[in-house]
Each structure stands twice: as C-alpha cells, then as structure tokens.
Amino acid sequence: MNIVVQKFGGTSLSTKERREMVVDKILEAKTKGKAVVVVVSAIGRKGDPYATDSLRNLILADNPSCSLRTMDFLMSCGEMISASVLSALLEQHGEKVIVLNGAQAGILTDDDFSNAEIISIDEKKILSYLQEEKIVVICGFQGISQSGDITTLGRGGSDTTATALGVALNAEFVEIYTDVDGIMTADPNVVPTAKIIEEINYEEVFQMADKGAKVIHPRAVEIAQKDNLVVKIKNTMSKHPGTSIHHYRKNGESRYSTKMKEKLLTAITHKDSIAQVSIFLEDDLQLESTLLTTLAKNNISIDMINFFVNKKIFTIDLSQVPLLKKILNELELPFEIIEKCSKVTIIGNRITGIPGVMATIVSALSKEGIKILQSSDSHSTISCLVKEDEATRSVNILHNAFNLSV
C-alpha cells in the first residue's frame, strides 16, 4: 500500500472555494493509486470564528488563569470542526471517508498540556480503514495522554501530527499544504526577488524554522529526519511542485540538487521582537550561577550568548523584558537593554570552514550604514543582531550579497 499523508493548514480550509481545492488535491493523490491520510488544522487564522486563537479567547476573556487541561479540551475542538466539514465535503463527492480525532487515531502523548509530545502511535486502526479504501481524515494538533485526557501539541502541532503519522504508517512521503508555492530563499513579503528552493535538507529547513521562517515546525522536521521521511511543502491553490525536504537526492549521489550546488547559502531568515541584554557582572562565579538558575526557574530563554569576565551579553524575547528587569533589580546587578532588535540569520550547510563569509556580511551591511550589535554562529548558520527597523533592509542586502535571487 502506497500511503501518502497530506496536511492542510487553516488558510487552506478557510473558505468553501479553498476546501474544494483541498478535495481536488486529495482526489488527485487517490487517482494516482495512493492510500490517503489527511491531517487538518483548525479553520482559518486569528480572528476567524473557529481558529485556535478565537477558541482560546472564549475562555481567556473571562478567566485568564484557566487550567491548561481545560484549555486543551476546548482547543482540540477547532480541528474536530475542520475535519468534520472536510469529511462531509468528501462524502458529497462520493468518497468513502472516516474522520478520527487524535485519540481515535491512536496518538498517545505525555500529559504536558498545551505542549504535549507524542509517545507512540497505534497505527492499526488507520491501516484497517485504508485497507477498506477509505480516505482517513485526522485531527491534527492533538492526542490523548496515558491517563485518558485530551492533549494538544503546541504551535505547529498539526505539522508534527503529519510527520509522526508519516513515520508510523511508513508513508511514501508527507505533503504539507499551505498558501505559498514552497520554501523560499527569504520571506517574499520582505524580499520580492526571493526564489523557490526546489530541494533542501533537514538541517537547513530546521534552522530556517527555528530562526523565524514560518515554513514548517522544527519538531515536525526532527521527526521526519530521524526516519529519512520525505516532506514536501506545496501550495493548495496552485500546481507548483513545491519544495522537497530530505537527506539526499533520489539518485543518492549528492546531498544537494545540481542547481543548488553553486550557491554557498540556502536562505536568509529573520526574527523580530528581540532584546539585547548586557549585564555588568564582575568575576563572581556564584552570582553568575545564581543569575542563570533564576532565569531558568522563571522560564526566560536566552540566546546569542557571549560571556566575558566582567560582562554577560545575551538576547531574550522582547515580551520577557519586564520580568528580567525585575530579576536583575532584585539581584542588584547593573544592566543595559536594547529593545526592538531583530536576529538576521544566513543558512547553508556549505558555509562551514569557508573563509570570507563573515567578511561578506560585515562589508555588505556596513556599506549601508547598518551596525551589527552582536553575532553568533553554528556549523550551518551565522546570525547577526540588528535594530528592528533595519531588519528588512538587512535581509535584502544580504540576499543580494550572496546572489540568492539568481
């Protein structure tokens, strides 16, 4: 049985016209002899009646401290609504369909409400329905804990559901449908000349997602990578072949397509709403340890970490600045905070050990009067912190400097 998992996001399901396009994609796969498993997100986005955020606001408006268990119970309804609506439409087209929520699909999770992780998937029920030639429509973003409670998987949870099911069912590939033609060299709303990336490996797309690109959730990429599951990012509203995410080319000869080989970089991303923190702390290991322990206890995640003997520099999410100020004042530590920064990141597995990459970045930005506040790197990324109002220009400058539009 050649199984394909297709995941459709909220924008793909937001109107009757788009749901008909979704049906066309499902039937096209079935016509090609595929057994089809469909994973759906809640209909629409923030502000739409059945979107996840809209459901959350039904409770938060009256009780901001509502328990996470109760919140998960409510938020799971969004996907149940969209799964039911799509299943009814498929039935109208004469198809045999079965709709399953996360629990019915055998998705077992831990009990970390609102951010649960999948422990296992019992795929037997799904396989039995596929043997009956039924299209199986499954609610994304949710599962059931070992104690029988409904749980949700956190942001991007439907992507995670799709790749986890792809692995459990030994699917041929997973298709993630959205409202763009594939993964691009930069956000097209920021860089009009951004190009579609035909092929990309897991590490690069993981870095893109982690560094701000809204392409696929990092957890979903990790799951696919472990099993070398091919994932395709495609557009519900077009016939574009999209972007394939995998380890190797189909012929096994290279990790990159021939078209990508000549390019040093794969993509450029950026993430806004970041604050740079400088703490003036003398060589006091005990106080340094107390500071880091206190930050961890308060769930303040730090990034772009540069520690010196008398100065500690790192970045945090802008929303955590008030809490951080309170902690630093209580510890009587002098500090400076630069708010409204952006982290601009170049991504490419080929940059490791290549001289001149950082020189190109510095030269390109400095020529345009853009100051780099801080930098960090890994084997496949280099990140630069800039003022938020200079982020768009920075991304475009670097996109041009590394010839990503060619």
pLDDT over 50 (residue 251): no
pLDDT tens, position by position, 139-191: 999 999 999 999 999 988 999 999 999 999 999 999 999 988 999 999 999 99
User: What is the per-residue pLDDT for 392?
Assistant: 97
Annotated binding-site residue? 250 = no
Q: Which domains does the chain have, with CATH numbers?
A: 3-258 (3.40.1160.10), 267-401 (3.30.2130.10)
pLDDT tens, position by position, 215-225: 888 899 999 99
User: What is the per-residue pLDDT for 298?
Assistant: 95
pLDDT over 60 (residue 256): no
Name, of 52-61, 125-134, 196-205, 350-359, the range with top average pLDDT.
Answer: 125-134
Could you give the CA distance from residue 190 to residue 214 in angstroms, rounded to a whole number? 13
Closest CA to 7 of 210, 223, 192, 212: 223
Annotated binding-site residue? 262 = no
Annotated binding-site residue? 52 = yes
Question: Which band of pLDDT confidence, cut at 50, 70 and 90, is reported for residue 44?
Answer: confident
Name, of 52-61, 205-214, 289-298, the range with top average pLDDT.
Answer: 289-298
Annotated binding-site residue? 79 = yes
Could you give the CA distance from residue 200 to residue 183 in angstroms, rounded to a whole number? 9
pTM of the predicted model over 0.95: no
Annotated binding-site residue? 179 = yes
pLDDT tens, position by position, 17-43: 999 999 999 999 999 999 999 999 999
Closest CA to 12 of 47, 34, 40: 40
Task: Tell me the C-alpha to C-alpha distance, in Å, between residue 12 and each of 101, 112, 157, 165, 224.
Answer: 19, 29, 16, 20, 23
Q: What 8-state DSSP symbol labels residue 371?
A: P
Contacting residues for 67 by C-beta, under 8 A, at least 6 apart: 113
User: Strands 312-317 and 303-307, how do they pair?
Assistant: antiparallel
Could you give the CA distance from residue 166 to residue 143 in angstroms, rounded to a whole number? 16
User: What is the per-residue pLDDT for 59?
Assistant: 84
Annotated binding-site residue? 8 = yes
Annotated binding-site residue? 167 = no
Contact in structure between 236 and 21 (CB atoms under 8 Å): yes
pLDDT over 50 (residue 120): yes
Residue whose pair of structure tokens reads 């956190």 in the numeric block = 154
Annotated binding-site residue? 175 = no
Query: What is the rounded average pLDDT of the residues 128-135?
Result: 98
Burial of 287 (0-12, 13-18, 19+ CB in 10 A): middle
User: What is the per-residue pLDDT for 257?
Assistant: 45
Q: What 8-state DSSP symbol labels residue 284?
A: -
pLDDT over 60 (residue 206): yes
Annotated binding-site residue? 214 = yes
Annotated binding-site residue? 32 = no
State the sign of the Cα–Cα–Cα–Cα dihedral 88, 90, 93, 95. Answer: negative
pLDDT over 80 (residue 252): no
Contact in structure between 395 and 344 (CB atoms under 8 Å): yes
